[in-house]
Structure 1
Amino acid sequence: MTPALIERILGPRVPAVEASQHRDTYRRPRRLLTLSSILLGSSIFLPYWELKLKAPQYPDGLRVTLWVNRLEGDVQELEGLNHYIGLPSFADGAVLERTVSVAGILALAALLLAGHYVHSRWALALAGPTVLFPLFFLADLQYWLWNYGHSLDPRAPFSHAVGEFTPPILGSGSIAQFDTLAWPGWGLVMALTASALAAAGMVSHRRAYKPLSIWPRDNFTEAASDSSVGSQRNPLRRRVVQRSLLAAGAALAVGVGTSTSAGAVSIDRETQWIDLQVLIDATEPGGVIELAPGMYRGGVLITKPLTLVGTDWPVVDGQGLGSVIEVRASDVRIEGLVIRNSGSRLDREDAGISSNTSPGIEIRGNRFEEVLFGMFLRRSNGAHITNNDVQSMDLFVARRGDGIRLWQSSAAVVEGNHLIGGRDVVFWFTDKITVRRNHVEDGRYGLHFMYSDGVTVEENLLEHNSVGAFLMYSTDLVVSGNIFKSNRGPSGYGLGIKDVDGLKANNNRFVENRSGLYVDNSPSKVGVSHTIENNVFAFNNIGAMLGSTVARNTFTGNAFIDNGEHVTSDSTGGLEANDWSEDGTGNYWSDYSGYDSNQDGIGDTPYEVDNLFGDLQTRYPNLRFFSGTLAANAIDIAGRTFPHLRPNPILTDAAPLAAPPTLPALSFQQHKTNRPALGLTSVLLVIAGLSVARRDRFVGGHTPSHGDTSDRG
């Protein structure tokens, strides 16, 4: 590097006379840059960002504190939650940033001090990184927050329920059942202050040293220096003032024009769309807005009680941006509308109708088309969602929103809705609700309950989903009169139950599922028992699958008809801790070959599940591939023929029914769909036919039962 280049970078030196006469002019930038350097360097000892998450199960909240090189707080607790949600480990994020941050910040502080000795425009290059550093930090933090919320492992248990999200970088927000609050730490405040001081120092620096690079040094005399500097600065000041006034005037003119046009125009002349927000704003609280047929611009906000009712299906179109209708008021009724084209961002939870703290909201008889979430209600107690049709966006299932999601909205009624193609219908922290006569198809979890007590689920049709319904971490549930049909996803449960206490499941139909019923750790509390009675399990791969440690479930009056396996355990071990008959009444088993000599409707010998192939499947799950084949039948025959091959029974029904029980007819009426009800009707006819055939079969002599233990040696 040549001396000339070094001199050019360092800039001109200040003459002694000039330095003595304008000492403050040249000291000011040094002081500002020094203070900025001290603040920035000290910021590494304080946290830069903090996040608090609060949910009902964490009343004191969880807290995360971000330093430039580490995370502190309730990190281990959140890592445990991440396992269920499917988030990456915190240790895998921002590795480079955390590694170089301390050294990088100290280097920036050193560059500020080096600016003392540079009197040219190159000083801007030394201070510029400090000015931009806080913006870079926030941008990088935003990137990693987005990356975490959009990198969910689809195999995680609850990834489908949470969906993709982006935690707020500042302010309040929500993630699933958590309310979040984020704010800057003192370290970031110091960095922002250092950035402002560095910017002010650079302005002061240029004002002080720029004249030295313009005028020859011999012009700096004791008499002329002040006037020379002043005469050169005045034009610059005049230009700045002039441009500021012009900018302010232009902004004022635009604002006036915008406000005038907004107040005067409510119909777009090109599209003929009506501005629905203008109608809402002009309506008094408690008023009624009657919408005639036509196109209405969505993206509206309702902040007062009112009724929005349509005639002949007016269309409210969100134009692919955000939620179509957002409600932040009580006692709002929305009825008779076509609500379409919400945004498609899961992190923003775009919905057809989104509400927050809207008790008493009523959503009746609407059609939702091309929406991400159909209805997303938060803290809306007493909501009524009835007779709506929801058609979700045609996206990969993990990218879809939920047809209906209720969060902390107790005493709600969800009735008569038809939902197709959504992800789930979700109820979280939502007590004492009734979910009745809904038709949910082509989703992932037809119905999904978590931490919701006192729920009634009755007369719903749940078909062609991955799972019909899953009940988790809830108490005092009634599941009655539902149809769980053809739910054949990877797990393929008609009804799944996990950590539930206080369940009564009766008069349901489980037809053509991979597993009609799945029970895991339910009931979970000692002293609690469940009753599963008068249900039909027909033509499933597995009628009912129970965990080997599950106990205190009573099965009575059920009909198990032509399932691949009527009942099995999810691991080795028996199911004798459950009761398979009550008060002398057991269940009907289509493969029971015992007899009823006194024709009292109860088989004279117990029924036992002890087939050899089923036992082998439990030990070697891959053998399920051969279920129903000739090889599997041959193994079962061998087990019955050679008693020493027969495994110990996993359950014994001491009072098996000799014929299928008479069950009440279902009152559910199926919605119009591309799958007619003939398939379900044929199933019920087959069940009736089997009933007649079995009655004939049990009249007469003794037929040996595979459950008869008299020939065991």
Structure 2
Amino acid sequence: MRLLIGILIFIGHSVNAKTWQVNTVNALYQSIKKASAGDTILISKGMYKIHTIIINKPLVIIGRDFPVLDGQFKGEILTIQASGTQVRGIEFQNVGETSSIDWAGVKVLEAENVVVENNRFRNCYFGVYLSACTKSRVSDNRIVGQPKEEQTTGNGIHAWKCDSILIENNSVEGHRDGIYFEFVTNSLIRNNFSTLNIRYGLHFMFSHNNTYEFNQFVKNGAGVAVMYTRHVTMKNNIFRDNWGGAAYGILLKDISDSHIEHNQFLSNTVGIYMEGCSRTTFLQNEFSKNGIAMRIQANCDDNRIKTNNFMANTFDIATNGNSVYNEVAHNYWDKYEGYDLNRDGTGDIAYRPVSLFSTLIERVPQAMMLLRSFTATLLDKIEKIIPSLTPENLKDEKPAMKPIKMASFKTSVHSITA
């Protein structure tokens, strides 16, 4: 009986819903003012110079051939305050900048079941801004900014105090942070491409029980940062070409009870930087051509680093402590020079991934000028024969003799300017 009543109500709304055809700025304002909940606003192709349109009832707003809503740098463009609103097929441009208000192309405030899909954002202070939202989706958008200083550039997709949201198939570039989460829970970031952002391709803090998968974070100022978070899962992501004095594939700070699996860390200054991390598993990741594959600070403990591939990195692991209490096992190290007499695929002697030269650099950074010199090679050879300065308990007792086969994966979203 309840199901029948629900169907009848839905049919009633569908029958009564009206479509408003819009081709001028005045018609756009008037149709939004006069429309009833559930109506559709269909915007024709063209240029609409406007700012601060407030949606306070659930509407479906659709653009035909990507009409341009131009904020003229005067403020925000679209502010959504109604649950169930949908926005599709529109190009938003020229959002104003201010240090006191986070103006955005589309801002959603305290609403649920909102969809922002297949839109374009150009030169917006913030692209899409979600505040206190639940069960909403931001997907298939192309967001391109014109970065200036970090303090005067907003984020591409920004979420604050949200729950159960989906960020999917977006391309973001040219912002402060490509995707930013703070106090966001039970959400999914999937198949996004984030590149050429001033600071981080992805930045989230105090955001628990979230999953990040099949994303690409490429050539961002400082890579990706994950801070003050527990129960995070990051799988099948690519972290590539994040170079700089303070750049990482991913920075993990005060992370616990999390899972980092089957990611690729390619050509970063540091693949993974860990500080204050506990009870986190690193499984079947590929570290290739990084300056340092993993930098594990001494305040990290009870982490598991297993069945990963370390290939062509300048240093495999670096640390600033003499005692490191983490499990390192069954990884492949291309620098391993041990043997396998019983041919079981596992090295017969342990591998110590922390070289004496990397330990020296931690204490005297200027020693980097000796990299690849005879002196550096001699130091590491001596340390292998008589270990003394590298951490005694940071070693792989059973290193793999051959690279571990990883299941292939692809991401399908690419940069809009690529």
- TM-score, normalized by length of structure 2? 0.89
Does 1:399 find its partner at 2:152? yes
Distance 2:54 2:407 in 1: 46
Q: What is the percent sequence identity of the aligned residues?
A: 28
One of 240, 251, 255 as aligned partner of 1:496: 251
Aligned residue number for residue 36 of structure 2: 284
What letter is aligned with 2:36? E
For residues 393-435 of structure 1, the C-alpha deviation after alignment (integer angstroms, 9 at most, x for no partner) is 3312332100011011100000010001111121111100000
Give CA deviations for 1:283-312 in whole Å, capped at 9, x if unaligned. Answer: 111111111111223321111100101111
Measured in 2, the distance between the counterparts of 1:673 and 1:649 equals: 48
Q: Which has the higher helix share?
A: 1
The size of the alignment, in residue pairs, is 394
Q: Which of 436, 439, 443 is residue 190 of structure 2 equivalent to? A: 436
Deviation at 1:550, TM superposition (A): 1.0
After TM superposition, the structure 1 = structure 2 runs for residues 158-307 of structure 1, keeping only pairs within 5 Å, are 273=25, 275-299=27-51, 300-307=53-60
One of 652, 655, 658 as aligned partner of 2:401: 658
2:180 alignment partner AA = V
Name 1:595's counterpart in structure 2: 339
Q: Secondary structure at the match of 1:470?
A: strand
User: Is contact 2:193-2:415 (8 Å) kept?
Assistant: no
Superposed, which structure 2 residues align to 1:317-336 within 5 Å? Answer: 317-336=70-89
Q: Deviations over 1:172-226 (max 9, x none)?
A: xxxxxxxxxxxxxxxxxxxxxxxxxxxxxxxxxxxxxxxxxxxxxxxxxxxxxxx
Q: Which one of the candidate residues 318, 323, 332 is aligned to 1:568? A: 318
For 2:136, give the aligned amino acid: A
| Alignment of structure 1 residues 680-699 onto 2, 5 Å | none
The 1:644/1:516 distance shift into structure 2, 3 A limit, reads closer
Q: Structure 2 unaligned runs (5+)?
A: 1-21
User: Which residue is equivalent to 1:80?
Assistant: none
Match of 1:476 among 214, 217, 231: 231
Structure number having the greater strand percentage: 2
Instruction: Decide whether the 8 Å contact of 1:539 with 1:562 is kept in 2.
Output: yes
Matches within 5 A, 1:533-552: 533-552=283-302
Cα offset, 1:276, TM superposition: 2.4
Q: 1:332 to 1:610 in 2, by over 3 A?
A: closer
Give yes or no for the alignment of 1:445 onto 2:197: no
Q: Which residue of 2 aligns with 1:386?
A: 139
Shift in CA distance, 281/637, structure 1 to aligned 2, threshold 3 Å: same
One-letter identity of the residue aligned with 2:386: P
Distance 2:369 2:165 in 1: 43
What is the CA–CA distance in structure 1 between the aligned matches of 2:96 and 2:217, rounded to whole Å?
27
Q: Offset of 1:646 from its aligned partner?
A: 6.5
User: Which letter does structure 1 place at the counterpart of 2:217?
Assistant: L
Q: What corresponds to 2:276 in structure 1?
A: 521
AA aligned opposite 1:643: I
**Which amino acid in 1 is paired with 2:286?**
V
Aligned-partner residue type, residue 431 of structure 1? T
Answer whether contact 1:546 1:568 (CA < 8 A) is retained: yes
Partner of 2:171: 418
Any conservation in 1 of the 2:270–2:290 contact (CA below 8 Å)? yes
Using the TM superposition, give the Cα deviation of residue 467 of structure 1 relative to its aligned residue in structure 2, in angstroms. Answer: 2.9
Contact 1:610 1:646 in 2 (8 A): no
Q: Helix, strand or coil for the counterpart of 1:636?
A: helix
Within 1, Cα distance between the matches of 2:405 and 2:25? 57
Shift, 1:647, TM fit: 4.5
Does structure 2 conserve the Cα–Cα contact (< 8 Å) formed by 1:273 and 1:294?
no
1:464 corresponds to? 219
Question: In structure 2, what is the Cα distance between the partners aligned to 1:449 and 1:480?
Answer: 16
Q: CA deviation at 1:633?
A: 3.0
What SS does the corresponding residue of 2:328 show, helix, strand or coil? Answer: coil
Gaps of 5+ in 1: 1-265, 524-528, 676-713
SS in 1 for 2:360: helix
Residue deviations 1:3-35 (CA, integer Å, cap 9, x gap): xxxxxxxxxxxxxxxxxxxxxxxxxxxxxxxxx
Q: How far apart are the structure 1 equivalents of 2:147 and 2:397? A: 50
User: Where does 1:637-648 land on structure 2 (aligned, <5 Å)?
Assistant: 637-640=381-384, 643=386, 647=390
Q: Mark the CA change 1:295 to 1:630 in structure 2 (over 3 Å): closer, same or farther.
A: farther
Letter in 2 for 1:567: I
SS of structure 1 residue aligned to 2:301 = coil
Preserved CA contact (<8 Å) 1:434 1:456: yes
Cα contact 1:611–1:646 (8 A) shared by 2: no
Give the match for residue 685 of structure 1. none
8 Å Cα contact 1:390-1:403 kept in structure 2: yes
Q: In structure 2, do the counterparts of structure 1 residues 450 and 435 end up closer, same or farther at CA, with 3 Å as the change threshold?
A: same
In structure 2, the partner of 1:190 is none
| CA spacing shift, 1:522–1:327, aligned 2, 3 Å | same
Tell me which amino acid in the other structure corresponds to 1:323. E
| Matches of 1:430 and 1:395, distance apart in 2 | 27
Q: Residue 473 of structure 1 aligns to a residue in which SS?
A: strand
* 1:351–1:373 Cα contact (<8 Å) kept: yes
Taking the aligned partners of 1:380 and 1:277, their CA distance within structure 2 comes to: 25
- Matched letter for residue 327 of structure 2: D
Confirm whether residue 616 of structure 1 aligns to residue 391 of structure 2.
Answer: no
Cα contact 1:484–1:509 (8 A) shared by 2: yes
Larger RCO, structures 1/2 (Cα 8 Å, 6+ apart): 2
Asked whether the equivalents of residues 310 and 332 of structure 2 are also in contact (C-alpha less than 8 Å), the reply is yes
TM-score w.r.t. structure 1 length?
0.53
Give the match's secondary structure for 2:31. Answer: helix
Is this contact kept in 2: 1:383–1:409, CA < 8 A? no
Displacement, 1:645? 7.1
Aligned to 1:510: 265
Distance 1:610 1:568, change over 3 A: closer
Q: Compared with structure 1, are the counterparts of its residues 310 and 478 closer, same or farther at alpha carbon in structure 2 (3 Å cutoff)?
A: same
Q: Deviations over 1:52-111 (max 9, x none)?
A: xxxxxxxxxxxxxxxxxxxxxxxxxxxxxxxxxxxxxxxxxxxxxxxxxxxxxxxxxxxx
Moved more, 406-415 or 338-347: 338-347
Among residues 349, 356, 359, which one is paired with 2:109 in the alignment? 356
**Amino acid paired to 1:538:** S
**1:359-381 Cα deviation digits (max 9, x unpaired):** 11110000000101111110111
Find the aligned partners of 2:57 and 2:212 in 1 and give their Cα distance. Answer: 32
- Aligned match of 1:165: none
Q: Secondary structure at the match of 1:579?
A: strand
Q: Per the alignment, in what secondary structure is the counterpart of residue 472 of structure 1?
A: strand
**Residue 312 in 1 paired to residue 65 in 2?**
yes
Provide the rounded CA distance (Å) in 2 between the counterparts of 1:651 and 1:644: 12
**Conserved 8 A contact 2:104-2:129:** yes
Q: C-alpha separation between the residues in 2 aligned to 1:628 and 1:607?
A: 20
